[in-house]
Amino acid sequence: MAKEKDEKKCQGQHGITRRGFITTVGAGAVGVAASGAILGGQKAAAEEVMTPEEMTKIALNVNGYRHRVLVEPRWSLLFVLREKLGLTAAKDGCSRGECGYCTVLIDGAARLACLTLAVEAEGCEITTAEGLMKGEELGTVQQAFVEEDGMQCGFCTPGMVMSAEGLLRANPNPSDEEIQEGMSGTICRCGAYANIFKAVKRASAQM
C-alpha cells in the first residue's frame, strides 16, 4: 500500500514504534520464561519492559491543537482520535490496514491510523478530515468531492479525501496513473471510482 511505504519521520518522545512495542513485549515474555526456568520458577523482574496495559502520558498535535492524553501503549491512533478526542471522521472499517477508511495525514503524508500507535505519533503533525475545514467552509478536496458527487454511502469518503489530500500535497498535478496509485489504498464498496477520479482532478486544478 503506497501510503505505508515511507518510514516514519517521528516516533514519539518515548521512541516507541508498533514493531518495537511488539518486539519488546515478545522479548520480555521470552526473557521471563527463560529466567523462570533457570531460577526454578521464581518470577523475573520486568524492569524496562512496558506492559501493554501500562498507562503513559503523551501530547498529540491534531489539526493545529495540542492534546494531552493518557493512553495505553497498545492503543492505535485511530482509537485515540475517535474514542478519546471525539474526532470521528476517520472510520474503523477493518482494523488491519486493508480498507483505508482511517486514513489521516501524519507530517503531511497519508497514513493508516489503525496501524499507527498513538505513542508513535507523538511529536508529529496529525491532520484529520475535520482539520481540512475552515470553520464551516469545506477544504478544496472536500468541496471537489461534493461538486463531482464523489461518494454514495459516504463511509469511505473521509479516507478518500485524506488520501487525495496527501497525494496532492506530494504531487499537485498527478497523472491518471499516479491518481490510481495514490488512491489505491482506499476501497469504495459502492464503486464510485469514476467520480472520485474526477474529484481528485478538480481539486488538483483548484489547489
Q: Give the residue from 101, 132, 163 where a domain finishes.
A: 132
Q: What pLDDT score was predicted for residue 23? A: 56
What type of residue is 156?
A: C
Q: Give the residue from 111, 132, 153 where a domain finishes.
A: 132
CATH number at residue 96: 3.10.20.30
Cell of 158: 473521509
Instruction: Output the pTM of the full model.
Output: 0.77
**Co-location of 21 and 115 in the same domain:** yes
Q: What pLDDT score was predicted for residue 54? A: 84
Residue numbers of the domain that contains 98: 2-132
Q: What pLDDT score was predicted for residue 51? A: 74
Q: How far apart are CA 186 and CA 193, in angstroms?
A: 10
Q: What pLDDT score was predicted for residue 79? A: 98
**Co-location of 8 and 109 in the same domain:** yes
**Co-location of 120 and 153 in the same domain:** no
What is the three-class DSSP state of 130?
helix
Domains: count for the chain = 2
Q: How far apart are CA 90 and CA 116, in angstroms?
A: 13
| pLDDT block averages, 10 residues each, the chain of length 207 | 48 59 52 47 54 87 97 96 98 96 98 97 98 95 97 96 98 96 94 96 96
